[in-house]
Structure formats: structure tokens, C-alpha cells
Chain A
């Protein structure tokens, strides 16, 4: 496959935010942002699960791989109208592609290019971003757990397959992001609240909101108690309403600089 060229429309611009460096024992959560220059109606399915969004990942010396959710789904149309200056944001879990194959098998620089279809007939493409995946210093068990197909399947399907239960409770939960993903899979509201609070403490309220939205797109899982648990924890810290917008698949207007 080839890496898509950047494409923008007059009304919409897509961008992907990801950490510049991240150890391999941490699940990579990126943030996709769709920014409107003028009033525009677009698909609001800004997530990998429903496949309006996809990310092409190119690793060191490797062919580009499209990050596709391992479980193909069918869902209905959801649209949102963005006013000029508004953005729609969505979470993106970059862990594995089809066949549950890890997207980041080794340490090194990876280029990520996001693509989104605002309508079935149009596509916008983001500028590439580079993430350097680093060998974990003393956390090989955690990195290995994230490459386990059972763990990948559990985190991406937000449900625990029994063979992966120990790894989810153990090595996967040693990082704040992994802990929240594991708690969302386990579905225990108290555990989710604790994990969301822990992640918010080190990375701010947007991080847990992005993580939760990556595996439970709010428009696809309206009223899900796991999303509600995350939202409840973040409410007090979410001064600009950005986390709440992420957790509701709702437009958000960034503050003027």
C-alpha cells in the first residue's frame, strides 16, 4: 500500500496528535482532530472502530500498514455540523491492525498518517506525525503483554477474554493508560473511576477522555456506564469542557489564543 498524500478540503482540516516518544510498554493513544474553517456537516464517526477514520503506520524499514480495527462492524450514519472555528475530536488506540498484529513490533521511529471520510465520497488526510517507540527500560513484561493477541483482543473489544485476564490485571495495568484501558475492558465502574483519576493526575483530563473515546466512541455507545464513570471523574477538572466534548462526540471550540 502507499502512504496517502495530505488532502484538505476548504472547510475541514484533519490532524493527529501523538506523543513524540513513547515506550513500547505504553499503549499509544492518539487524538484525531477535525477542524472546521466554515460551517460544514461531516460524519462524526471520528474513530477507528467504524472505519471512517484510519491511520497508516510506517515503521522502521517496514511497509506501511493500515491500522484497521480487528473487528469489522456495521453501524448507522451519524453526522455533526461544525461551525467555523469548532473542532470535533476523537480518540485513537494504535495497538494492532487486522489479525491483531501489533502495529509497533520493535523500537524505532514510526510515521503515522490519518485519513478520514467526512462523507462516503470524500477523504481528508492529515499531515504525517512521527512517534519514536522506545525500548522500555525495565518493563519488558508490560511490553510483551501488549503484544499478546488475547490482551489486544480484550483491550480493543473492551471485554475481557479469560486467558488475558491476568495480564490485564497485572502488566498491562502498570501504566496509567494501560490501567484505564484494562479497567474499561473489565467494566467495573469503581476501577474505571480510579484509573481515570490516576491518568488525569499525570496527564490532565483530556487524556482519560481520549483513551475512553478511543475504545468506546461516545456516539456509538451512548449512555454507556463506563463512559459515564470517566466523565464523572473528569467533570471537576474539565475547565474548558474539552474532555466533556470528547466524551459526548460533540463539537468543541478551542479558546482563542
Chain B
């Protein structure tokens, strides 16, 4: 979108309409014909411009035992002939209380709603806006956030209407709009409280290396004086830059590793939810002007401008700046520092932005490119525009919080499509209506190496790391819905991994004492994805457990390196296990009526008994043959073969400790079959055979009902 000109927004008695891009539809403008709504004079449209706190409360009876707190920042951009709305909604669950606690007062304006990343639920932007007699009404495209994958996964639509009346406003109180929202088939009472005339804010801590100069202000060639905060102010950002330290120790050349260390050791404290950025006035790295170096696990929190880098002697450089170090040319240095901070807000160089914005002389163009447009008559930095291009300005104002906020998504995220299709309606709670559980830790333990076709198991351990007992689910398996596994195959999208059987029922819980743990063990070889690890390469997995319906806990990410079968034994095993019916038998702990699968399992068990995959095959046979099986539909029965079952169990136990035998047995048994014969049989077999039997007993007990240890 280019520069807009047009009618300046008028008073609240005029109907204005704006299309999905937020641009004014001229032909639609007409005088207000409404009944005027609530009493009081309507606000002028210009009063809407700025940052708001949007709060949504469901209308009608409450569902469930918890109350959702649904709120977040909303940005209304009122420009000449344009009106756009976007917002980010954060949700947390609160237990219902007999008496509603008093709502804490809001801070005095200006302030910016900056909420915990762990509560992020959805992003919205307007698809068309009308403003009529003080009422702003707009449809929204809503992008739903998956807290586990940390990605937008779905979109849907909704409608929000808010009315602004003069009687709601007075000098001592923030401006308030009231109305309703229709989201996911539910109606909500909507209240918006204005927090600032700017759209977003961020605290910038500036540390200065000894002997270098922070450009507090810069006088441009036009004679206009500007500053870091003023440049960001042109895009509606309130960037409060404060110099914190003037004597960062001298280091003539800074590597990225050193910069990362400086960020860790010199940045001052901040609150958890505050948006903040660390900016270093540093020395040099080669002849770079600046770099956004922070690409670690909490990315985009630090940038540097190199004060010692020199401008060239080219005639296209303004005469007084030629050959000077950057910090002796305040306009040039300020431009670089604003540019690097822009990267920390996830802005790209135009030439690599997937949206293909034009290359020019605005802030996010590299200095070299701006110099490329300079002439002797209009040299650098005189030719530089000290403002963001329209594409970057819109991104700063309206892009979702995860894209913009320092410390959230990595550099480059969000420069593609946000949407992955239209889902069924989801209400205002978003996709994951749980909080991040404090005081609980989830560990995912699994091998880091495997080959395609090898039987793979995982262990999930929930630990109470708080000082208080915690009531938690005991359903630490993939079949009963509380636990899920997120799996990203090489180069592929993230999939949710579940068992191939899904069970429903009440959530059994246990009281987990401080320091206590619960353990669940499961096979992940064959899941709802089929063969889970059917592609060579690095696979990433992460577990998420719904602890109690209100809180969730996530594990660390684990990378599993999958290779193709290399040895003859591995190829033999893979040749059997990659058969889908064999995979299903390994997941179900039974081959049903499929005699071919039984034969394959027997070959697997007999062929390489020292290998755990073969032992798993033997244990499936031991489990299946220990009991009869009836195919109701076909009317075919399979008789139990207890002697054969015992023989396969003994075969699987050869060369394995009691603990190893039970670890395998509980994974081949389906989690929904707490009485699977193989678990008790394996325990009976190992009883009294070794000192490790106690551990084996615990594993068997955990299969039936995990208990704290």
C-alpha cells in the first residue's frame, strides 16, 4: 500500500466505511441515519486512534468450573481515509469463586497491555470497518494460536461492535468503549479501555562502550532535529530509550559470541511480561555498521550499532561525514541504530521480505542501498528518510505480538502466511484453554538415535518442583487425551501424535507431593501417524500434559536422529516392522485374527532375539496368545495358547534385566488395557529372580495406575 491522501476524519455523526485493507470507501459515506444508540454525544472518529485494552466477557450462563479471563491489546489506526483494527488476545483460566475479587485499577495512560506469552490465544485484524454515530463495527479474521507448537494453526471470523459516547469520557478517567463481540458462535460483552495515543510501546535500554557516543538527537540535513524515540513515533511506537551505562569495557572488535555475553551481563533487570530491548553502542565488527546478533533460544532481544565503522570517502557521502566514524555523524549512526532495533522487532530488509515491498531510502533499507540512491547533489545521509516504509509501519502497528515482541519468535518469522485454513468455530478461549502450570516439570525421555523400522519407546515424567502438593492427572499415556506429543518430521509441519486407540472417561488424579514424580511409558513406534519415524533425518518431539483441566505443562524439545537401517540385522527387522499390520500389532499388543501378522511377529522374535524390537514382537505374541480373541463381526474366535505365550515371554526375558523386561512389556500393552496379560505375566516371571525386581514391580504398578515416587 502506498501513501494515502484523502478526507480527514470528521465528527462522530458521519458514517464512514473502510474496506478489508482499512481504506476508506468513498462512495459509501453518508450521513448518519441511526437511532443514535445510547445517550450522549458520539465520539469523533479521531478519538479512536491508539492502543486499547480489550476485555471480553461471555454473555449467558457460565460453562464449566472455570472462568476465562479474555483480554489483550487492540490497536485502532485512524489515518487520513483509512481505519484499521488489530489485536492480540490472551486468555487465562480462573477458578470460579463465590465472591468476585475486585478488579485492580488500570495504570494511568500511557501504557501498553503486555501480557504473559504463555497466555497468548489469538490474533485478529479487521476485514472492514464502519464508524457511525460513535459506533465502530468491524468483522475480524481471527488467527488461532497453538501454545504448544507456538504457531498460528487455524483461522475463523467474528464481529466486534463498540460504541464510544461523550458521557463515558472525562479528563480523569481513561476513554472507554462498550459493546459486544460475536466469536465462534458465542456472544461476549466487549469493553475497550484506551491506554495510549500510540499503538505499541517498548523499553529500550542503551549501554554505551567507553569512548563511544549515543546519538541522543541528530540534526538532519533539512535542519530538523530528531531522535530514536521520534523516529519510532512516526510509526506509532513509543520506544522509550534510556541510557543505562556509559562505560561498557573497551573491546576494539566484537564477535557475536562476545555480544551475546555482553547482553547477558550488562542488561538490567526487567519484569517478565515487559517488552524490552537492549541496544549497544559498541566498537566494531569488521566494517559492519550494525547487527542484530541475538538469535539464541530467546531471540531478538539485543542489537548493536558499531560506532567505529567509518563512512567512505565517496562523493555520494555528505562532505562533512566522509571518512568519519559513525558516532561522529549522528544522523547516520541514529539511522543504523533505529534500523538494527527494527530487526529486533522482526522487520526485514525489503529485498528479502516475502511481501516484496519496494527498495528505497527508508529505515529498513540497508545503508549500502540508501547510499546506492544517493548522488553528489543529494548525498548520504541527507537522502535517507527517517521513517519506516509503509509495509514496515503496518507491520509495526498491526503484526501479531509473537512476530513483533522481542524475545518471542525468531527473526524472519511471520513474513509468510499466517493461515492454515478455516476451522470449525472456536470460542474466545482459543485452542488451548489452559494456563501454563507453575511448579510442575515434564520431562520427555527417549532415545536420540534410531533407524527406520526400530521399535521406539518414550518415558514421560511429571515432577512437582514446587513446595506444595499438587493434584494432577495420572493419565500419562497417549490414549486418554491428557498427554499429547508434538512431532515434527524432517522438513515437515508439526503433527500431533496420539495412540491409535483413544479412550474417554473421567480424569483420575493423584496428589503429587513436593519433589514427587509420576512416570508414564509408551511406545511411539506406531501412532495415529502410522510409522512415526518413517523418514530419515532429525525428528523433533515435545510432550504436553493437561494436568488438571486448568493448567498444562510442556516438556523440553527432544531431537531424535533417524537413519536408514544399516546392518543386515537392522534391514531384516525393518523388513518386518515396516509392514502396517505389524506396526498396528506392536501398538495394540495383539495381532487379532491376522495369522500373517502372527507369523511376521514370530519371525521377528526368533530372528534377532537380542534386539529390543524383536523382544517387543515376542511380548506382543506373549500378550495376545495368553488370552482368547473373538472377532465379533466375523464370528471368528482365537483360542488362548498359554504355553506359547509363556515361551515367547521367556524368550523376551532372555538376556534382559527384570526392569528391561517390564519396561518393554508395559509399552506393548495398550494403555487402555490395564489388565493386559503380558504385564502381570512378566512381573510373575521376574519375581524373585533378581534384586531389580522392586523396580520392575513399580513399572508394572505405574502401568495400571501411576503413583507418586
Contacts and interface: CB of A to CB of B under 8 A. Distances in A.
Q: Do A and B come from one complex?
A: yes
A179 B348 CA distance: 32
A257 interface: no
B526 to A, nearest CB: 22
Contacts of B354: 1
Given A51-B349, A106-B536, A74 B288 contact: yes
Contact of B256 (A99, A106, A144, A159): A159
B289 interface: yes
A166 interface: no
A135 B368 contact: no
A74 B339 contact: yes
A74 B412 contact: no
Interface string B509-544: 000000000000000000000000001111000000
Contacts of B410: 98-100
Interface string B272-310: 000000000000001111111101100000000100010
Given A71-B291, A107-B536, A157 B255 contact: yes
Interface string B337-366: 001100100001101101000010000011
Interface stretch (A84-92, A114-122, A196-204, A238-246): A114-122
Nearest to A62: B491
B372 interface: yes
Contact of A72 (B256, B291, B372, B537): B291
A74 B291 contact: yes
B553 interface: no
Contacts of A127: none
A144 B368 contact: no
Contacts of B290: 73-74
A210 interface: no
Contacts of B416: 1
Contacts of B365: 120
Contacts of B366: 50-51, 73-75
B372 A106 contact: no
Contacts of A220: 286-288
B340 A71 contact: no
B21 interface: no
Given A74-B288, A157-B257, A220-B286, A144 B311 contact: no
A173 interface: no
B564 interface: yes
B563 interface: yes
B685 to A, nearest CB: 37
Nearest to B365: A120
A117 B255 contact: no
Contact of A71 (B295, B336, B536): B295
A171 to B, nearest CB: 13
Contacts of A153: 256, 295-296
Nearest to B339: A74
Interface string A78-117: 1000000000000000000111100001110000000001
A120 B561 contact: no
A105 B412 contact: no
Contact of A73 (B291, B316, B352, B563): B291
A106 B535 contact: yes
B286 A51 contact: no
A70 B145 CA distance: 25
Residue of B312, B369, B371, B373 with most partner-chain A CB within 10 A: B369
Given A51-B349, A68-B412, A222-B287, A74 B367 contact: yes
A54 interface: yes
B258 interface: yes
A154 to B, nearest CB: 7
A193 B20 CA distance: 60
Interface in A190-249: 216, 219-222, 224
Question: Which residue, B289, B366, B368, B410, has most C-beta atoms of chain A within 10 A?
Answer: B368
A105 B538 contact: yes
A98 B563 contact: no
B340 A70 contact: no
A73 B292 CA distance: 7
B286 A224 contact: yes
Interface in B395-436: 410-413, 416
A19 B536 CA distance: 23
A66 interface: yes
A62 B493 CA distance: 11
A119 B372 contact: yes
B287 A66 contact: no
Interface string B229-266: 00000000000000000000000000111101000000
Nearest to A119: B372
Nearest to B356: A1
A110 to B, nearest CB: 11
Contact of A120 (B372, B412, B449): B372
Contacts of A216: 286
Nearest to B368: A77
Contacts of A107: 536-537
A199 to B, nearest CB: 22
B368 A78 contact: yes
B312 A77 contact: yes
Interface string B683-697: 000000000000000
A59 interface: yes
Contacts of A219: 287
A42 to B, nearest CB: 11
A35 interface: no
B314 interface: yes
B687 to A, nearest CB: 41
A100 B524 CA distance: 28
Given A147-B538, A159-B256, A50 B368 contact: yes
A72 B287 contact: no
A66 B415 CA distance: 12
Contacts of A175: none
A51 B536 CA distance: 32
Contacts of A74: 288-291, 305, 336, 339-340, 366-367
Contacts of A130: none
Contacts of B343: 72
B563 A135 contact: yes
B295 A161 contact: no
A98 B299 CA distance: 12
B610 interface: no
B412 A51 contact: no
A158 interface: yes
Contacts of A72: 291-292, 340, 343, 348-349, 411
Nearest to B566: A138
Contacts of A76: 287, 289, 309, 311-312, 367-368, 371
A107, A140, A159 — most chain B CB neighbours (10 Å): A159
27 contacts: A70-B295, A72-B411, A73-B291, A73-B292, A73-B366, A74-B305, A74-B339, A74-B340, A74-B367, A76-B309, A76-B367, A76-B368, A77-B369, A98-B412, A99-B410, A100-B295, A106-B537, A107-B537, A120-B365, A120-B373, A121-B372, A144-B561, A159-B258, A162-B257, A221-B286, A221-B287, A222-B286
What are the 5 closest A-B residue pairs judged by CB atoms, nearest first?
A98-B412, A159-B255, A157-B256, A221-B286, A77-B371
Interface of A: 1, 43, 45, 50-52, 54, 59, 61-62, 66, 68, 70-78, 97-100, 105-107, 117, 119-121, 135, 140, 144, 147, 153-154, 157-162, 187, 216, 219-222, 224
Given A70-B295, A105-B538, A157-B257, 9 more contacts: A43-B368, A51-B351, A74-B336, A77-B316, A98-B413, A107-B536, A107-B537, A135-B536, A222-B287
